Amino acid sequence: MSHPFIPAPNTALVEMVYGYEGQIIENTFHVVRNSPFDASALQSLTQNVFDVWDSTGTARFSAQRTADSVLTQVKGRALDTNSSPVYIYTLPGSGRPGVISSQGSLPGNCTFAITLQTGLAGRSYRGRIFIPGLNYAMLQTSGARNLVSAAQANAWIASVNSLIAQIAAIGSGYHLVVTSYYNNHAWRTTAVNSIVLNAAYADLAVDSQRRRLAYRGA
């Protein structure tokens, strides 16, 4: 559904871009601060926060996905105007694969939904990301293999909550947010941000993203 550019003041869009078996898949985040993002702020956000979140520490995201999911780029884009700065950080070499063995990697459409909670009710105020790079060992071993283990789900939550904390630690006014462009069957004229308080999961069921399968387009 195309729409004209909708400004989101003081907000940056950050896309984590992965390769997975020939397919390109993404997770999208929004970050707000007290002033518009310029190029240097976008560079710092993509390289010093999101890339570091993926690569460093016990809750690093790369430790929670398989080697088949390779982080290749982190893209940052300011959303104040349609000519606001863009910064694309391309990881060196062929990118950063996940730490978990690719042995037993699940098909790309198998994912897990993490909800981003803002403490507000309503569709405009909750977000989701879908985890890339699941492995067979992440599933529960009893019954049908349609559920991930609670330990794995909690590890993802810890990782995303770590990202929330790292963004808040950049400085005053920095927050991971849910950005809403649509309300009551109409596009907004200006996007509305809600601060993400924490990550959570609704259930342990595997979720589905058909377009993450190789050669399945839009």
Note whether 57 binds another protein by CB under 8 A.
no
Note whether 119 binds another protein by CB under 8 A.
no
Are the CB atoms for 72 and 90 separated by under 8 Å? yes
Distance CA 202, CA 161 (A): 16
Burial class (CB in 10 A: 0-12, 13-18, 19+), 127: buried
Identify which of residues 13 and 148 has a Cβ nearer to another protein in the complex: 148
Shortest distance in whole angstroms from residue 129 CB to another protein: 17
Identify which of residues 4 and 143 has a Cβ nearer to another protein in the complex: 143
Note whether 149 binds another protein by CB under 8 A.
no
Are the CB atoms for 106 and 69 separated by under 8 Å? no
Pair of tokens at residue 134:
């699941």
Give the one residue of 93, 143, 171, 217 binding another protein; rule: CB under 8 A: 143
Give the one residue of 20, 89, 125, 156 binding another protein; rule: CB under 8 A: 20
Burial class (CB in 10 A: 0-12, 13-18, 19+), 3: exposed
Note whether 54 binds another protein by CB under 8 A.
no
Q: Which residues bind another protein (CB under 8 A)?
A: 20-23, 68, 102, 104-110, 136, 139, 143-147, 203, 205-210, 213-216
